[in-house]
Each structure stands twice: as C-alpha cells, then as structure tokens.
Amino acid sequence: MIVRDEQERIARCLAAAKPFVDEIVVVDTGSRDDTVAIARSFGARIVNFPWCDDFAAARNASIDAASGDWLLFLDADEVLSKGAGTELRRMLQRKRTLGAYIPLRDEGDGAPKIITLLFRAVRRRKDIRWRYRLHEQLLPDAIRIAKAEGLVFETLSGEIRHDGYCTAVMESKGKRARNDRIFEAQLADTPEDPYVLYKFGDSLRSNEATFPRAMELLQRSLTTLKQLPPADCHELTFAGEVCALLALGQLRCGNSVGAAATLDFGERNCRQTGHLAYARGQQCLSVNDAAAALQAFRACATHKNKAMLIPATARVSGLLAKVGEARALIMLGRAPEALVRAREALAADATDPDAMRAAADAALAQGDLRTAVSFAMDALAKNPDNGDAWLCGALVLFRAKLFSKSVDWCNRAATLLADKASAAALLGECWLHLQRTDAAREAFALCPTDPRCVAGLAVVEELEGSSVLTLLQHVAAAERQRMMDNLRSVSATV
C-alpha cells in the first residue's frame, strides 16, 4: 500500500489483512504523523518514496519492494473482509488465474453508496505494472497478458470496505484540488488516452464553470473509442460510461440528436450498464417517446445492487430509475402508476428534489393540487430551510397557474439554494405570466449565463419590441420557444 499521514486508519487496515498475507510493504510518501511507526508495529517493510503526483509510480515502487508471487493492493482507508482474505488464499493454487476483482463497498457520508469491482489482486510479473498518475490501473497490462496466454480473472464474493470518500476526509486532505492538479499533468502526458479523458471529464462535469471543458474531454474520449476495433472497445469497462455521461451532457445542452447518436454507439459497442440505460431513458423522454423511455428506465433498475465495474452512483439505478419511470408513465397518461413509482423513490429519500417533483407532477396530472403541494410541505416540516422543497412547491404552484403564490416560493428558494439558476428562471417566468417584464428581466439577470435565463431575457426583449434571437445558442432558443408557447397557451385559457 501507499500512505501518507494515515495514523487514524492504517492499523485497522493492516490488522484485517495481516492474517492472510505473508509480507506487508508500505510505501510512505512523506508522513509527518505516526503512520510509519504503526506500520512497523505490524512488521511492515517501509519504502520511503518522495511524492511526485503520481500514484502509479508509487504503487510500482511497492511492487518492486515485494517478494511474493502474488500481490494484493489495499489503501489505508480500506478494510479487507475475512471472506475475501480466505478466498484469496484459496485462489493462489489455481494455475490459470492471473488476478481477481474484489468488490469494494463505499461507506461514509460523502460516499456514492455502491459496490464497485476493483482489480486488486494479481500474480507478480515484470510485465504487469500500474499506469496513470491518478485513478491508476493494472488492467491494461493484465488484460493484454490474459488474452495472449489464455489466463482468467476471478471475482470474489468477499469484499473490501472503504470510507475514504466521506466528506470530512475529502475536505481535510484537499483531495479535490490535488486530483485536478494530477489530472492536468496526466493529460499532458497522454492527451488522447480515452481513460484519462473520461476520468478527467467526469470529475469536471458537475461544476457549471467547468462543464464545457468536461464535455470537450468526454467527446475526445468517445472519438478515440470510435477509432478502436469494436471488440477492443467492448473490453474497456469504462467505454459505456463515457457514452452515458456525454449523452446526458448533450441532453443538458438541448442536443437530443447528438445524445441519440452517442447512445446508439454505446449500445452497439460497449458493455451495458445502468447509467447507459438511464441516459437512453432521458433521451427518449426528450423526444416524447414515453414507451421507449419506460423500457429504458426499467432496464436501468435491473442494475440496482449489482456490483459494478464503473462506479456510477447507486442513485441512478435506484431512485432516479423510479423517477424516470414516473415521468414516462405521466406522459403515457398513467398518472396513478406514476405516483406509485414516485412514492417509491421518495421512500428512499423523502427530500430528494427529483423524487419530490415527479410525485408532485403525478398528483397534478390527476388534478390533485393538494397532494402535489403536500410533498413539498412534508419536506419543509422536517426542514424549513430546504431550498429544494421550496422550489418544488413553486413549480407546483406555477403549473397550477397560481403565479403570484409561486413568486413567493421562488423567492424563498432563491435565498436558500446555492445554485440559484432554477429558482431565478422560474421566478422570471412567473413575472412574465403576471405581465411584469421589468421584474422578469431582473429575475433572469440573476443568472445571466444559465440557458433558461438567457432564453428568458430574450423573451423579455421580444415582448418589449426587439429581438436578440441571433445571439441565442440552440438550447436557449428552444427554451425561449417553450416559454413563448406557454405564455400563449395560458393567455388563451384566461
């Protein structure tokens, strides 16, 4: 293992592993606490390794220091189960086995709450080395050798428990800033490696400021994957995730046609995953193909609780799959079934904004405004400062054409939410329906780079006698058309 300042966790890790290993090698990258002394107390061989922002290099130093025929790699924030240790000892006798996947269960308040299959045990060979500075991998070498020599990989049933992604650990160690720095260095080393492009893009996509770059990196990854023979692309366990993330990003930009093409490639050439099915469901919803969406979301749900080779969040195949089903059922005119699915999603997390909105929409589809509002009210009873609940209530009131009341809820949501874009966009629309273009402009101007707010500002300009449509991106133009159609529809019914 490689460590630095892990005195709080390393004893737990080594105590669990020691009964099943013949030697312990600890590569220390500059600990200033009692990590090294604790490791020595377990009989570990210590290798001092000056940190160079390269996890693969450090792990390869541990390989060089080991003497056994088999290698097991652990981190200090991981605990090997007795079941996994016993299975590993038995596996050593099988001559055709080159290595093993071990299920890793993430735990902690910031963890994705999933089980991921990690390739962590392998025969010691000179031609198997770790690659990549961050999110390092043994598999590229191992897969090549297994194919050439007819060897196999096993999958253990025993697991490793991991809690290194809990919020406190991530913040105390500054992992996010460190990871960005290392990603940049790795990208400079291997600018067209599809795995590097995928991992870096994935790390950037959740931040609005870095989302455009994330899309560029994911697109480059897909372009590289398309140049590979189909069999090689299928062998890469992350290829389907590239397609899923890129397609979801394309949908976010209003590019349903591009998303469909990306998913077509993924379904033809990559291993099927829950995330890929989820992205297909969202793409089908975007073109009003509710029947196909329902089928895709149900396929997504079949991946729930399965160990995954790529750690897409469990929320996708669990709560979000049910939300997707609810959305599709509403479109199919099956609102009572939709409400059942949405309630199942709420049972998993009563304050989840997607589940709240799906439940509210299903109730509204049945003409039940009281029930629709109750989902937001229930969440607010538990936490009056739940900005997502205020926004959910605002959406319900907006869809019920109670625009003045929705304004109050929007304003409350905007004061509580860190990301104010959704509240600002909805507030602006409320003011448009109340024929207050001055207030609408002010609301949209709160988030002038958000596509919905850009569209809203264009609508304001148009209503006041001018047009900035030539300045709109495709997604903003689509949003502008939706707003205008909604305004006309409401005016026609008044």
Closest CA to 269 of 298, 232, 221, 216: 232
Residues 162 and 20 in one domain: yes
Residues 148 and 264 in one domain: no
Given a cut of 50, is residue 111 above it in pLDDT? no
Given a cut of 70, is residue 173 above it in pLDDT? no
Measured in whole angstroms, the distance separating CA 9 from the mean position of its chain's CA atoms is 27
| pLDDT on residue 458 | 87
**DSSP string of 450-480, one letter each residue:** SHHHHHHHHHHHHHTT---GGG--HHHHHHH
Q: Say how many Å lie between the first and final Cα of the chain, rounded.
A: 69
User: CA angle 117-120-122, nearest 5°?
Assistant: 125
Of 237, 271, 305, the one marking the end of a domain is: 271
Is the residue at 338 inside a domain?
no
Residues 123 and 220 in one domain: no
Of 171, 201, 235, the one marking the end of a domain is: 171
Given a cut of 70, is residue 491 above it in pLDDT? no
What is the DSSP code (8-state) at residue 318? I
What mean pLDDT do residues 255-268 have? 97
Given a cut of 50, is residue 170 above it in pLDDT? no
Domain of residue 46, CATH code:
3.90.550.10
| pLDDT on residue 118 | 87
pLDDT digits (tens, 9 = 90+) for 91-109: 998 999 999 999 888 876 5
| pLDDT on residue 487 | 78
CB contact at 8 A, 20 and 47: no
CB contact at 8 A, 421 and 453: yes
Please compute, for residue 353, the number of CA atoms within 13 A of its CA located in the half-sphere on the CB side: 14
Residues 216 and 167 in one domain: no
Of 171, 203, 229, the one marking the end of a domain is: 171
Q: What is the distance between the alpha carbons of residues 332 and 294, in angstroms, rounded to a whole number?
A: 9
What mean pLDDT do residues 139-163 have? 92
| pLDDT on residue 471 | 46
Is the residue at 315 inside a domain?
no
pLDDT digits (tens, 9 = 90+) for 368-396: 999 999 999 999 999 999 999 999 999 99
pLDDT tier at 483 (50, 70, 90 boundaries)?
confident
User: What does the block give as tokens for 172?
Assistant: 């105390």
Q: Name the helix (H) or strand (E) containing 296.
A: helix 290-301
Residues 115 and 7 in one domain: yes
The amino acid that residue 383 corresponds to is N
Residues 19 and 147 in one domain: yes
pTM of the model: 0.80
CB contact at 8 A, 317 and 300: yes
CB contact at 8 A, 141 and 128: yes
Q: What does the mean pLDDT of the chain come to? A: 90
CB contact at 8 A, 339 and 366: yes
Q: What is the distance between the alpha carbons of residues 323 and 344, in angstroms, rounded to a whole number?
A: 9
What mean pLDDT do residues 133-145 have? 92
Query: What are the two backbone dihedrals, phi and then psi, of residue 236, each rounded to the nearest 5 degrees?
Result: -80, 110
Q: From the CB of residue 409, how many other CB atoms can be counted at a distance below 10 Å?
A: 26
| pLDDT on residue 166 | 53
User: CA angle 174-180-185, nearest 5°?
Assistant: 125
142-156, 161-175, 354-368: segment of lowest average pLDDT: 161-175
Measured in whole angstroms, the distance separating CA 167 from the mean position of its chain's CA atoms is 16
**DSSP string of 434-447, one letter each residue:** TT-HHHHHHHHTTS
Is the residue at 132 inside a domain?
yes
pLDDT digits (tens, 9 = 90+) for 39-51: 999 999 999 999 9
CB contact at 8 A, 67 and 23: yes
Given a cut of 60, is residue 112 above it in pLDDT? no
CB contact at 8 A, 402 and 430: no
Percentage, residues of the chain above pLDDT 90: 73
Q: What is the distance between the alpha carbons of residues 281 and 354, in angstroms, rounded to a whole number?
A: 15
Residues 214 and 155 in one domain: no
What mean pLDDT do residues 182-208 have? 92
| pLDDT on residue 467 | 57
Closest CA to 364 of 373, 354, 376: 373
Percentage, residues of the chain above pLDDT 70: 91
Is the residue at 477 inside a domain?
no
Closest CA to 156 of 293, 10, 20: 20
Residues 149 and 198 in one domain: no
Dihedral Cα 392, 396, 402, 408, nearest 10 deg: -10
| pLDDT on residue 309 | 55
148-152, 313-317, 441-445: segment of lowest average pLDDT: 313-317
Using DSSP bridges, classify how beta strands 78-80 and 97-106 pair: parallel, antiparallel or unpaired. Answer: unpaired
**Residue 485: CB partners within 8 Å, gap ≥ 6?**
none
Q: What is the distance between the alpha carbons of residues 494 and 492, in angstroms, rounded to a whole number?
A: 6
The amino acid that residue 252 corresponds to is R
Residues 26 and 157 in one domain: yes
The more confidently predicted of residues 309 and 57 is: 57
Residues 9 and 101 in one domain: yes
| pLDDT on residue 488 | 76
What mean pLDDT do residues 30-57 have? 96
pLDDT tier at 494 (50, 70, 90 boundaries)?
very low
Residue 72, strand partner residues = 121
The more confidently predicted of residues 366 and 253 is: 366
Is the residue at 396 inside a domain?
no
Using DSSP bridges, classify how beta strands 45-48 and 25-28 pair: parallel, antiparallel or unpaired. Answer: parallel
Residues 52 and 160 in one domain: yes
CB contact at 8 A, 460 and 444: yes
| pLDDT on residue 104 | 87
Closest CA to 179 of 211, 245, 133: 133
Residues 107 and 135 in one domain: yes
Is the residue at 402 inside a domain?
no
Which letter, b or e, does each residue of 303-323 get, where b requires 16 or more Cβ atoms within 10 Å of its Cβ?
A: beeebbbbbbbbbbbbbbbbb
- Total number of domains constituting the chain: 2
What is the DSSP code (8-state) at residue 110? T
Q: What is the distance between the alpha carbons of residues 260 and 287, in angstroms, rounded to a whole number?
A: 10
Is the residue at 317 inside a domain?
no
- The residue segments making up the domain with residue 127 are 2-171
Query: What are the two backbone dihedrals, phi and then psi, of residue 468, each rounded to the nearest 5 degrees?
Result: -120, 25
| pLDDT on residue 450 | 85
The amino acid that residue 372 corresponds to is A
Dihedral sign (CA 369, 370, 372, 376)? positive
**Residue 136: CB partners within 8 Å, gap ≥ 6?**
55, 56, 59, 130
240: burial class by Cβ within 10 Å (0-12, 13-18, 19+)? buried
